[in-house]
Amino acid sequence: MGKALIFLADGFEEIEGLTVVDLLRRAGVEIQMVSVTGSLEILGSHKIRIRADVLFEDMDAFGAELYVLPGGKLGTENLAAHAALGRLLQDAAASGKKVAAICAAPSVLGGLGILKGRRATSYPGFESQLVGAELSVDPVVVSGNIITSRGMGTAIPFGLELVSQLKGRAEADKLADSIVFDRK
């Protein structure tokens, strides 16, 4: 089935975070929304309030195969400032688990040294923060166990790629058809 964790902080881009959660749940992947703020209530970048499933300090990361960071400038800054999350992401990437980030959030991975020697993409203007990466402008980039994407407009292809990574291309294609998403 697969298990995924998506890390949320105040200021996250709602479409990037919630599209991933929605698509993975539709595909039968267990995904938990993890708050790094100390509160289950998170305020998105467009003032949409959501309730996370669990606090970072209470989560069970055991068995997780995928770790996801949504973007949003303030949300990305808040994720980058969380030292324990940084260590978790470094350990996950080093152990071959899938680590994914969209929009500004690939800069978190760059700052942690996770992108060195890999292809990666990000929101325009954040390229200099993808430390050590071979830069791409593709909507979604898979480089080994690291998946990056450009922004809100690429949230569906990003989410579908995450489904593909955990459940296979056929499942991702079936899901794309069911939501009437043209993958061309």
Q: Is residue 147 a contact partner of residue 16, using CB atoms and an 8 Å limit?
A: no
Report d(CA 157, CA 160) in Å as an integer.
5
Domain boundaries, given as residue ranges, for the chain: 3-178
Q: Is 63 a catalytic residue?
A: no
Q: What is the mean pLDDT of residues 1-28?
A: 96
Helix (H) or strand (E) holding 92: helix 83-94
pLDDT of residue 174: 97
In order of 25, 56, 57, the CA distances from 33 in angstroms are: 11, 9, 13
In order of 29, 95, 103, 110, 113, the CA distances from 160 in angstroms are: 12, 23, 16, 23, 26
Helix (H) or strand (E) holding 120: strand 119-120
Burial of 8: CB neighbours in 10 Å, binned 0-12, 13-18, 19+? buried
Task: Tell me which of 88, 103, 146, 156 is the catalytic residue.
Answer: 103
Tens digit of each residue's pLDDT (9 = 90 or more) over 95-146: 999 999 999 999 999 999 999 999 999 999 999 999 999 999 999 999 999 9
Q: What is the mean pLDDT of residues 141-153?
A: 98
- Structure tokens belonging to residue 88: 């978790």
pTM given for the model: 0.97
pLDDT of residue 154: 98
Give the CATH H-level superfamily of domain 3-178: Class I glutamine amidotransferase (GATase) domain (3.40.50.880)
Q: Is the pLDDT of residue 177 over 70?
A: yes
Cα 121-60-96 angle, rounded to 5 deg: 40
Q: Is the pLDDT of residue 15 over 90?
A: yes
Q: Is the pLDDT of residue 4 over 70?
A: yes
Confidence tier at 1 by pLDDT (50, 70, 90): low
